[in-house]
Amino acid sequence: MSLYAHKFGGSSVANAARLREVASLLQRSDEPRIAVVSAMQGVTDALTTLATAALDTKPWRGDWTRLREQHLRVARELAVDDAVQAWLEREFQALHETLSAPSPRPEWLATVQGLGEVWSSRLLQAALGDEAADWARLDAREVLVVHPGELGVGVDWDASRRQLAAWRQAHRESNVVITGFVARDGDGAITTLGRNGSDYSSAIFAVLFDAAELTIWTDVDGVLSADPRLVPDAVCLESMSYAEACELAYFGAKVLHPQTMAPAMQAGLPIRIRNTLNPAAPGTRITETSEPAASPVKGLTLVPDMAVLELAGAGLIGVPGTAERMFAALHAEGVSVTMISQGSSEHSICCVLRADQAERARTAVRVAFRDAISNGQAEGVRVTTGIAVLAAVGDGMVGTPGVSARLFAGLAQARVNIRAIAQGASERNISVAIAAEDATRGLRAAHSAFWLSPQTLSVGVIGPGNVGRALLAQLAEASSRYNGADRAGLDLRLRAVANSSRMQLASRALDPVDATALLEDGEMLDLDRFAAHVRASHLPHAMIVDCSGSDTVAAHYADWLAAGIHVVTPNKHAGSGPLERWHAIRAATRHGGHFRYEATVGAGLPVIQTLRSQLDTGDTLTEIDGVLSGTLAWLFNKFDGSVSFSQLVAEARALGYTEPDPRDDLSGIDVARKLVILAREAGRELSLEDVVIESLVPASLKDVDRGTFLSRLHELDAPMQARLDAAKREGRSLRYLAQLDRDGRARVGLVAPEDGHASLHGRLTDNLIQFHTRRYADNPLVVQGPGAGPEVTAAGVFGDILAIAQALGARP
C-alpha cells in the first residue's frame, strides 16, 4: 500500500483545536502516512528570543514560563495522559538548564530553536492516539544528516537512508509523526534547515519514505495566481509544474519554501498544497508538467522593498569583465541580487537588490570601480530606492509570442513605468522593476492582461424576440466596423442562435441578418450542446448572449461561466432568482468567464456600472429610490386623466414598450426584480420574496389568458382613475417607484411623490434611479435616461459585449 506524506505548518498546529483538526484529517485515510510538523505558530520566534536574551544575559525566565504554560495548556485541552504532560515538564526543565548555561556555539542556538517542532510533534502524536493507534514519533535529529552549502543546506542521502532503515527496524508502526526544521550535520551536531525549513524537511522525508505524494497543509486553498490581498480576484491554480513552482518560490511566493522543490524534482514526487481550514478544497498539485491553461502565465508575484543599482559610463562599452567585477564586489559583501539587466550597448548595467542592502552594495561597487570613476570612464554608481519587482511566471510563456507585449501593454494602460526588465532563456519568467507606489496597480493590471484570452469571440444568441432581433440587427450593422483583425482586432463571430424550441449551429459563422429565419430549419434545442458548440476548442473565447426571459436558461449560467463561457444578458432571472443560484453564478466567474448584465436594470443606462463604481471606490449605499420601468414611466408620464389608463396600456403595447402580455409590466414583478438586482449588487442579501409588491392588475384579471385580459383592459380604468383623482386633490401626480431603505426594506408600488421628486421630471420612457450613498447623502446620485424599447435595451446588451471584448484586449 502506498504511503502518503503530509506537512503541517505552524498555523495548522497553533492550538489544541487545530491539533484536533489535523488529527481528524490524518485519520480519514487508511493508507500509511507520515506527518511532518512545524512548531506551533510563533514558538520558533519565541525560542530565538529566549536564546538571544540568555546570550545577552538579559531576563528570560518570564518568557520561558509563558512558553511552558502555553504547551501545558494545549496538552490539558487535548486531554492527553499524565505521561505526556510529565514529558513536557522534563523538556522545559531541560530548556531551563540549557538557557542557564548559554553558549555561542551554533549547535547551542540550533538546539534551542528546534525544540518547538519536538514539542508539537509529541502533542500531535498524543492527539492521534500514540503507539496504541499505530502512530510512532520520529525526531529528525535521529535520522536526518545534512551539510551546509553555498546554495543552502544539502542532504547526505546515503547516511540518512541508513539511519532511517535502522530506526524503522525499531519502530514498526505504520504511521509516523516527524519533527520538521531540525537535523544533524556530518559530525553529529544539532542543526536546522533555516527559517521555514519544515517544508524542506517534509520533501526530504517524503523522498526518504518513498511517499506517493506530499501534501503541504497551510492556511490558503493552494497556490494563487497572485497575492489575494492585492488582487481580490486571484484564483487558486489547479496545477503547476515544478519549474513554475520553483520560479514562484524563488521569486517571493509565500506558499512554498524555495528549497522544497529540489528533492521533489529529483524523485518525481507530486506535491499538493491544501488548506487545513478548508480541507474540501482540492488545492494545487505540483508535478513534472502542469495541465494546459487558458493563460500563458500561471502566477504573478510582487517583491517589495527593493532598489535598483546602476553602473553606467561610456568607458564600459566593450570592456570585458565589467559584469564580473561588479558582481564579485557584491558577492564579497554578501549582497543578494534579485534580477540583472544590461542593454546591448553595454553603456550601463544594473541589478535589483534588497533595499536594506543598497548602500552596502553602492559602496562595494564604487570601491571596485574606483579607478574607472576617477578617470571618467564610469559615471558612478546610482541607487534608486522605492522599487518593487513584478514577475510573471508560467510554462505557457515558453515559445508563446506576445507574452511580453501583453505584460507591457497592461502596465502601460495602467500608467505604470518600467525601470528595468529581465527575462531568462527558459522564458518562464518575465520580471520588471517598477516604482513601489505603482506596485499594486501594476500587479492588478498585469493580472487582468494575463488572465484574458485573445480577442476572437465565438458568440451564441438565445431568444430572438424583440430585444434579440434588435441585437442581431445591431451586430449585422456593426460587423463592418468591428470584425476582422485588419480593422479593430475584434471578431464577433455569431456561430449559434436559438429560441425556446429550436437552435441553429454553424461551423463557421451565421449572418446575423438571416439567423432568425434559419431557425425554421434548425434542430431541437439542447442547451448543453448549444453551449458546447459555442465553446469551440479552436476559438479562444466564447460568449452566450441570453435575450430570453427564461428562468430555465438562467439556471445554466453558473455552468457556462465555470466552463469559461462569457455571459451577457438582459434576463433578470439570474440576478433576482434564488440567492443560492446568484452566489453560484458569481462564484463561477472566478473561472475566467465574464458576466455582464447591465441591461437587466436600466436597458442602455449605466446603472449597475455607476453603482459598482461607487462601491469599488469605497462608497456605501444607503438607499435606492426611483423609476425602474420604462413602460411604467411612459404610462404614468402620460396618465393625466385625459385618456383612459387602458387606452395608454394598449398604445404602449403597440409601440413595443410593454411585454407581449402587459401584465408582466403591470404586476410590478419586473420592477421588483430590478430592485433585487441592485440590492444584491450592493451586497444586500435580498430575495424577491422580501419585496413588498403592489400589482396594478386586478385580482379578477390575474389568471385569465392573455387574450381575455386584453379584451378586458377597461377594468383597470376605474381603480386607476380613483388613484389619480386622490393624488390630484393633493396637487400631486402618480409614479410607480421602487424603494430600498437604509434598513433593507424593499417596496415597489404606486405612490404620489412630493413636489420636487426627481421622478416628476422624467421624460416619457425615462428610467430614473437615485442612489443615496455616504458620499451622496444630501443630494443623491441620479442616473436617468430612456429605459424602454428593444433598440435601447439591445444597445445596452451590445455595450456589455463590447466591454468584455475590450477587457480581452480588443480596441473597438
Say which CATH number the domain at 548 has: 3.40.50.720
Greater confidence, 25 or 444? 25
Q: Are 658 and 649 in contact (CB under 8 A)?
A: yes
Q: Tell me: do 537 and 437 sit in the same domain.
A: no
Predicted TM-score (pTM) of this structure: 0.55
Instruction: Of 313-317, 473-477, 625-629, 670-674, give the lowest mean pLDDT range.
Output: 313-317
- Report yes or no on 286 lying in a domain: no
Looking at 451, 486, 512, the residue that finishes a domain is 451
Q: Are 573 and 671 in contact (CB under 8 A)?
A: no
Report residue 591's pLDDT band, with 50, 70 and 90 as the boundaries.
confident
Looking at 190, 218, 246, the residue that finishes a domain is 218
Report residue 656's pLDDT band, with 50, 70 and 90 as the boundaries.
confident
> Average pLDDT, stretch 72-92?
93
Closest to 99 (Cα-Cα) out of 73, 61, 133, 126: 61
Q: Tell me: do 730 and 642 sit in the same domain.
A: yes
d(CA 33, CA 3): 5
- How many other C-beta atoms are found inside a 10 Å radius of the C-beta of residue 695? 15
Q: Tell me: do 636 and 552 sit in the same domain.
A: no
Instruction: Of 240-249, 344-353, 666-675, give the lowest mean pLDDT range.
Output: 344-353
Instruction: Of 84-93, 407-416, 568-577, 589-598, give the lowest mean pLDDT range.
Output: 407-416
Q: Please give the tally of structural domains in the chain.
A: 4
Report residue 289's pLDDT band, with 50, 70 and 90 as the boundaries.
confident
- How many other C-beta atoms are found inside a 10 Å radius of the C-beta of residue 506? 16
The pLDDT of residue 452: 34
d(CA 741, CA 71): 52
Q: For residue 408, what is its C-alpha cell?
A: 507591457
Catalytic residue from among 7, 298, 572, 674:
674
Closest to 717 (Cα-Cα) out of 698, 736, 734: 698
- Report yes or no on 811 lying in a domain: no
Report residue 54's pLDDT band, with 50, 70 and 90 as the boundaries.
very high
> Average pLDDT, stretch 28-52?
94
**507, exposed or middle or buried, with CB in 10 Å at 0-12, 13-18, 19+?**
exposed
Contact residues for 381 (Cβ-Cβ < 8 A; gap 6+): 309, 310, 311, 362, 365, 366, 369, 373
The pLDDT of residue 66: 96
Count Cα neighbours of 416 within 13 Å in the Cβ-side half-sphere: 28
The pLDDT of residue 341: 83
Report residue 343's pLDDT band, with 50, 70 and 90 as the boundaries.
low
Q: What is the CATH number of the domain that holds 29?
A: 3.40.1160.10
> Average pLDDT, stretch 550-558?
96
- Report yes or no on 287 lying in a domain: no
Local structure of residue 735 (DSSP, 8 states): E
Q: For residue 81, what is its C-alpha cell?
A: 495522559
Find cell 546554495 and name the residue.
151
- Report yes or no on 256 lying in a domain: no
d(CA 43, CA 69): 12
> CA 381, 385, 390: angle at the middle one, nearest 5?
115
Q: How far is CA 747 from CA 751, 774, 778, in A?
A: 11, 22, 22
CA 496 to chain centre: 31
> Average pLDDT, stretch 777-796?
87
Report residue 250's pLDDT band, with 50, 70 and 90 as the boundaries.
low
Instruction: Of 72-81, 211-220, 432-441, 681-690, give the lowest mean pLDDT range.
Output: 432-441
Q: Are 527 and 559 in contact (CB under 8 A)?
A: no
* Max CA distance (Å), the chain: 105
Q: For residue 428, what is its C-alpha cell?
A: 518562464
Closest to 197 (Cα-Cα) out of 163, 148, 243: 148
Q: Tell me: do 555 and 430 sit in the same domain.
A: no
Q: Tell me: do 428 and 491 sit in the same domain.
A: no
The pLDDT of residue 453: 28
**693, exposed or middle or buried, with CB in 10 Å at 0-12, 13-18, 19+?**
middle
Instruction: Calculate helix-pair angle for 607-616, 669-681, nearest 10 degrees.
Output: 20
SS3 8: strand
- Report yes or no on 137 lying in a domain: yes
Specify the amino acid at residue 465.
G
**43, exposed or middle or buried, with CB in 10 Å at 0-12, 13-18, 19+?**
buried
Q: Tell me: do 480 and 555 sit in the same domain.
A: yes
Specify the amino acid at residue 447.
H
Quick check: 196 pLDDT over 50?
yes
d(CA 595, CA 656): 27
Closest to 696 (Cα-Cα) out of 727, 722, 732: 722
CA dihedral sign of residues 335, 341, 344, 346 = negative
The pLDDT of residue 486: 39
DSSP string, 531-591: HHHHS-TTSSEEEEEE-S--HHHHTTHHHHHHTTEEEE---THHHHS-HHHHHHHHHHGGG
Give me the chain's average pLDDT, please: 88
> CA 507, 513, 515: angle at the middle one, nearest 5?
45
The pLDDT of residue 485: 38
Q: 485-499: b or e for each residue (b if 16 or more CB lie within 10 Å)?
A: eeeebbbbbbbbbbb
Q: Which domain holds residue 433?
A: 299-451
**Residue 674 annotated among the catalytic residues of the structure:** yes
CA 656 to chain centre: 42
d(CA 150, CA 617): 48
* Region of 418 on the Ramachandran plot (φ > 0 left; ψ -120 to 50 alpha; else beta): beta
Q: Tell me: do 407 and 461 sit in the same domain.
A: no
Q: Tell me: do 152 and 14 sit in the same domain.
A: yes
Looking at 199, 218, 237, the residue that finishes a domain is 218
DSSP string, 201-249: HHHHHHHHTT-SEEEEEESSSS-BSS-TTT-TT--B-SEEEHHHHHHHH
Residues 260-278 pLDDT 10s: 888 998 999 999 999 988 9
Q: Tell me: do 552 and 619 sit in the same domain.
A: no
- Report yes or no on 309 lying in a domain: yes
Q: Tell me: do 140 and 161 sit in the same domain.
A: yes
Q: Which residues pair with 176 in a beta bridge?
A: 34, 136
- Report yes or no on 108 lying in a domain: no
The pLDDT of residue 29: 84
d(CA 525, CA 567): 18
**Highest mean pLDDT of the ranges 281-295, 691-705, 760-774:** 691-705
Count Cα neighbours of 517 within 13 Å in the Cβ-side half-sphere: 5
Count Cα neighbours of 720 within 13 Å in the Cβ-side half-sphere: 28
- Report yes or no on 254 lying in a domain: no
Find cell 492516539 and name the residue.
129
The pLDDT of residue 811: 56
Containing H/E element for 493?
strand 491-498
Quick check: 336 pLDDT over 70?
yes
Specify the amino acid at residue 176.
V
Q: Tell me: do 401 and 313 sit in the same domain.
A: yes
> Average pLDDT, stretch 488-494?
71
Q: What is the CATH number of the domain that holds 324?
A: 3.30.2130.10
Quick check: 103 pLDDT over 50?
yes
d(CA 741, CA 216): 48
The pLDDT of residue 593: 80
CA dihedral sign of residues 692, 697, 703, 705 = negative
CA dihedral sign of residues 359, 361, 367, 370 = negative
SS3 340: strand
DSSP string, 389-445: EEEEE-GGGTT-TTHHHHHHHHHHHTT--EEEEEE-TT-SEEEEEEEGGGHHHHHHH
User: By 3-state DSSP, what share of the chain in percent is helix, strand and coil, each rounded to 5?
Assistant: 45, 20, 35
The pLDDT of residue 454: 34
Residues 120-155 pLDDT 10s: 999 999 999 998 899 999 999 999 999 987 667 899
Quick check: 498 pLDDT over 50?
yes
Q: Tell me: do 703 and 746 sit in the same domain.
A: yes
> Average pLDDT, stretch 641-663?
91
Q: Percentage of the chain surpassing pLDDT 70?
A: 91
> Average pLDDT, stretch 404-410?
79
Residues 527-553 pLDDT 10s: 999 999 998 755 557 899 999 989 999
